[in-house]
């Protein structure tokens, strides 16, 4: 889990995505329906890296060679402090095949969810090719 922790704390999206299985299942603290697969998870993790500030892990739970881990973290979104936990399961190849996140307090989760929604919309807008008038 050290590689995951390092990638998140460095905001290294490429390294983070490389740790995920192709069929990773991501459960967000803000939406009911899970995200399935790298292609769905990557934009979300990119947005999280862009809006979550001062993220640092404070505790790691799980034996080094276990397939289940929990990483407790603190961070902020603007002036709103938050804390949470990443629950991680790895497959037989050592890739993350399940990741779910819990965040508290509710006010911080709501602030984070709104910031991520805005960032995803902005990223999608920037990804669209410019339309030019004929």
Q: What per-residue confidence (pLDDT) applies to 134?
A: 46
Q: Can you tell me whether residue 51 is helix, strand or coil?
A: helix
Tell me the C-alpha distance between 22 and 130, whole Å: 31
Residue with tokens 């779910």: 100
* Alpha carbon distance 110, 105 (integer Å): 9
- Model's pTM, two decimal places? 0.87
Of the candidates 43, 113, 61, which has an alpha carbon nearest to the alpha carbon of residue 82?
113
Q: Which residues of the chain have pLDDT under 50?
A: 132-134
Convert the pLDDT of each residue in 21-49 to its tens digit: 999 999 999 888 999 999 999 999 999 99
- Going from N- to C-terminal start, the domains of the chain cover 2-124
We find that the CATH architecture of domain 2-124 is Roll (3.10)
**36 half-sphere exposure, CB direction, 13 A CA radius:** 2
């Amino acid at each position: 889990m050290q590689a995951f922790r390092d990638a998140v704390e460095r905001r290294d999206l490429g390294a983070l995505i490389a740790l995920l299985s192709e069929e990773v299942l991501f459960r967000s603290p803000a939406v009911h329906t899970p995200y399935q697969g790298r292609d769905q998870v990557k934009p979300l993790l990119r947005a999280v890296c862009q809006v979550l500030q001062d993220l640092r892990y404070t505790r790691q739970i799980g034996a080094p060679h276990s397939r289940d881990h929990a990483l407790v973290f603190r961070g902020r979104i603007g002036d709103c402090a938050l804390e949470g936990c990443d629950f991680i399961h790895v497959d037989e190849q050592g890739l993350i095949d399940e990741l779910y996140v819990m965040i508290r307090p509710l006010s911080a989760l709501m602030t984070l969810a709104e910031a991520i929604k805005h960032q995803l919309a902005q990223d999608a807008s920037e990804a669209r090719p410019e339309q030019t008038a004929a």
